[in-house]
Each structure stands twice: as C-alpha cells, then as structure tokens.
C-alpha cells in the first residue's frame, strides 16, 4: 500500500508473520506472542495511533502509563522504554523508534471530551474511546477495561512550567516504532479519527502493523 516501509536484514516484508492495513479512523487488535516484535508504522505521517496492551492470558493485567513513566524516568516513551503493566511487570520493550516523540499523558479523545474542547456540534464525530470500546468488546471486555493509553506519534510538548498542549505531529511518512513482546500481549489500537486538533494533521490516514517472530523462534 505504500513505498515507505523500511526493513532490517533480519526482518523483511516477506518473512513477517502478520501484516495489517488499518484504515483511517478504524479500530484494530491482534495478539503478539512473547519473543515476537511488532512494528507500528505511521504510513503517511502525522497520525496519532492510540495504543493499549493487555496480557493475552489475563486481560485484568494491562498497560499502566503511570508505572511506565515512573520506571522510564521521563515524560516521553522511546527506544529502551519498558512498557509496564498494572502488576508492575514488563509487557514489551521498545526496541526501535524513528520518530522520537510519543505521548502517554494526554489520553484518548472521546465524544464527551470533544464537546468540552470543541463545542457541542462535534458530539457526533467518531472518537478513540468509541474505537477502544468496540475493539475490546470483541475480546469480552467493556468500557471499564479501557485505561489511559499510549499515543504513538502524538506530539504533546510539556513546557518547563508543566503546561502541555497537543500540537502538530513531527512524524514523517513511514516512521515506525518496534516493540519486542516480553509476554503474550493483546495489542489494541484506535487509529485516531480526531479532526479538531493537530494530532492527525487534520487528516486521519491509514497505518500499518507488522509482526515478526524472534530470532530464536
Ligand atoms: Zn483520538
């Protein structure tokens, strides 16, 4: 679907075990097994990819932004970040990042927050929270299982004063992150449909997810 994909010698398009095209504004989920590496690609650039992880064997264990930031000791996640669960365990490790700016403080957009931020006229617009609820429901979960998420490729500068604002994304077409799974995880994505702020360049676009087996698989 695009010419932007980059591959390493070990990982090529032909030896990927999963290759998913996620349309603009759509939800998505898949299981990534321990030892596998998942690549999440911002195929066209400036696209926020709202992301959650659950322990595939026990969904009550899931991503914790608070524990991840505390363990990482920084406000942003990038290469080397260990993705920590609410049980304090490492779910995945970020092993590559061609963009360098990903948020896990600003949360996901919802119809309700849209009306507060942008006016009642936008209430009907689709939002990440709807996407998450739709997608987790396929796995027997409900809205109470949707927790604060990672916003891959969303640019939320945090000022020295502590203020933070969603501004233009800096990701270029084909930028990606790679995460190596340390346990079997359910990956849940909302390809953010927001059109009222710059997180998607005011133009939501498709993204791509690829999975490779580990070297010792
Ligand atoms: Zn969103």
Q: How confident is the model at residue 8 (pLDDT cuts 50, 70, 90)?
A: low
Instruction: Identify the weakest region by mean pLDDT among 6-10, 30-34, 193-197.
Output: 6-10
Rounded CA-CA distance 127/111 in Å is 6
Q: Is 121 helix (H, G, I), strand (E, B) or coil?
A: helix
For 3-130, where are the E strands, in sequence order? 18-22, 27-32, 37-42, 49-55, 58-62, 82-84, 90-97
Ligand 1 centre to CA of 190 (Å) is 7
Rounded CA-CA distance 38/140 in Å is 23
Phi, psi dihedrals of residue 44, rounded to the nearest 5°: -115, 0
Ligand 1 centre to CA of 172 (Å) is 19
Ligand 1 centre to CA of 78 (Å) is 20
Ligand 1 centre to CA of 151 (Å) is 9
Which sequence spans correspond to the domains of the chain?
18-212
Ligand 1 centre to CA of 108 (Å) is 5
Ligand 1 centre to CA of 35 (Å) is 29
> Smallest Cα–Cα separation from 156: which of 168, 147, 165, 145?
165
- pLDDT of 137 > 90? The answer is yes
In sequence order, the 6+-apart residues with CB closer than 8 A to the CB of 101 are 76, 78, 153, 154, 155, 169, 170, 171
Ligand 1 centre to CA of 199 (Å) is 8
Ligand 1 centre to CA of 134 (Å) is 14
> Smallest Cα–Cα separation from 138: which of 47, 31, 19, 23?
31
Element (H, E) at 189: strand 185-191
Ligand 1 centre to CA of 128 (Å) is 4
pLDDT digit string (tens) for 199-211?
A: 788 889 999 999 9
Rounded CA-CA distance 187/195 in Å is 24
pLDDT digit string (tens) for 143-199?
A: 999 999 999 999 999 999 989 888 888 899 999 999 999 999 999 999 999 887 777
Q: What is the pTM of this model?
A: 0.92
């Amino acid at each position: 679907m695009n010419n932007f994909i980059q591959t390493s010698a070990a990982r090529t398009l032909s030896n990927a075990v999963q290759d998913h095209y996620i349309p603009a504004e759509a939800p998505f989920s898949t299981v990534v097994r321990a030892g596998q590496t998942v690549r999440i690609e911002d195929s066209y650039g400036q696209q926020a990819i709202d992301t959650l992880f659950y322990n595939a064997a026990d969904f009550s264990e899931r991503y914790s932004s608070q524990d991840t930031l505390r363990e990482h000791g920084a406000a942003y996640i990038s290469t080397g970040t260990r993705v920590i669960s609410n049980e304090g365990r490492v779910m995945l490790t970020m092993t590559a990042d061609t963009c360098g700016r990903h948020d896990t403080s600003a949360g996901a957009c919802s119809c309700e927050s849209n009306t507060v931020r942008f006016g009642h006229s936008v209430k009907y617009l689709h939002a990440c929270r709807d996407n998450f609820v739709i997608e987790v429901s396929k796995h027997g979960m409900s809205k109470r299982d949707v927790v604060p998420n990672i916003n891959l490729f969303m640019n939320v500068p945090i000022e020295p004063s502590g203020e933070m604002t969603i501004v233009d994304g800096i990701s270029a077409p084909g930028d990606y992150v790679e995460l190596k799974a340390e346990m079997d995880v359910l990956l849940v994505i909302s390809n953010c449909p927001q059109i009222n702020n710059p997180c998607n360049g005011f133009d939501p676009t498709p993204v791509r997810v690829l999975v490779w087996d580990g070297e010792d698989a």
